[in-house]
Amino acid sequence: MKRTLSCITPLIAALFVVCICSTSIHAAKYVIGYSAPGLIDQFQLDIVEGMREIAKSNDADLIVIDSRNDVAKQIGDIEDLIARKVNLIVVCPNDEHGIVPAVERANRLNVPVITVDRSAAGGIVVSHCGLDNYALGFKAAEFICERIGGKGQVAMVSGTAGMSVVAKDEAGFRDGLKKYPGVQLVATRNADWDKAKAMSVTEDILTRYPDIKGFFAHNDTMIVGVVEALKARKLTGKVVTIGIGGYDDGREAISAGYLTASIGLSAVEGGKATMKLALDVLSGKAVPKSSPWPVTLVTLAGEDSLSLLNLN
């Protein structure tokens, strides 16, 4: 998932990876490789931070390779991790289908694989640690519908078309709306996780549907673009808005009264949970096939735990 707070330069990203990968591996009990989709946003950097913290305190070394959002490079990166004889590979796939040959290669060589945030469509994956994106979309629908009194038009601003996390966010939101027959989803637009694109598509939606009552966007960066478009039309406070992330840009918009809510994620905690899962696998413990991350609902009133259970 690309839940973006802010971008960093390629140079900083490269130095970040070099610092991680230069850690000595000769004395560690375990060597774990992480194939990242792209270390260009806070969400991915936070995952690595959490993983490193747990690895450091458990006599494990972490090798991180940035695939730079390139499927072919990610496959090659995993081949490189296998050649470096890591004990386990964690991967956040750029493409759930494209990563399958690399997972199967690791399987043949008896290198266990864990996925984080995004799943793989095939191969043997010991466990997946990440967000239940379907549930996030479902809860966003419930939040908006309750706030608008179960009646009115709503719209969704999605991430990049074709990504599994986007499909799950969308499916959850659509299914959540089914509980409220008085609410109509009148528009869904892709904005590729980008604030400017989100602002542009929102302007188009508002032109076609001036009476819209609610917007859901798949990350806080895009929902901030949505609220910018609403501000320009003097609709602040008149339209319910919710994003996903709970990072600084979303929290600042909530504090300023522009954004209604955000579903808060902690990628650092997710990274910690992923590394603990990897260590459990390597120590021979039984692990679940899926381990969801905890989430919260962030509003002007504060932050509360959000249950993703009992959706039907």
Domain ranges of the chain: 10-130+267-294, 133-265+298-305
Predicted confidence at residue 293, as pLDDT, reads 84
**CA dihedral of residues 102, 108, 113, 119 (deg, nearest 10):** 50
DSSP H helices in the chain:
10-21, 42-56, 71-83, 100-108, 133-147, 164-177, 195-208, 220-232, 248-255, 267-282
- Is the pTM of the predicted complex or chain greater than 0.85? no
Residue written as token pair 């499916």 = 171
Predicted confidence at residue 308, as pLDDT, reads 66
Domain 10-130+267-294, second-level architecture: 3-Layer(aba) Sandwich (3.40)
Report the distance separating Cα 37 and Cα 17, nearest Å.
13
Sequence letter at residue 97: H
Task: Answer whether 175's CB lies under 8 Å from 138's CB.
Answer: yes
The CATH homologous superfamily of the domain defined by 133-265+298-305: Response regulator (3.40.50.2300)
Block means of pLDDT (10 residues each) for the chain, 312 residues, are 48 44 60 93 88 97 95 98 98 94 98 95 96 93 98 96 89 98 98 95 98 97 97 97 91 96 92 97 97 89 74 48
Task: Answer whether 153's CB lies under 8 Å from 120's CB.
Answer: no
Report the distance separating Cα 208 and Cα 252, nearest Å.
29
Report the distance separating Cα 258 and Cα 183, nearest Å.
23
Intrachain domains 10-130+267-294 and 133-265+298-305 with the same fold: yes
Task: Give long-range contacts, CB 8 A cutoff, 24+ apart: 72-81.
Answer: 74/35, 74/37, 74/98, 74/99, 74/102, 75/99, 75/101, 75/102, 77/35, 78/33, 78/35, 78/102, 78/103, 78/105, 78/106, 79/105, 81/33, 81/35
Task: Answer whether 106's CB lies under 8 Å from 89's CB.
Answer: yes
Please name which of 42, 31, 36 lies closest in space to residue 7, comparing C-alpha atoms. 42
DSSP 75-91: HHHHHHHHHTT-SEEEE
Report the distance separating Cα 281 and Cα 261, nearest Å.
37
Which tokens sit at 218?
């798949």
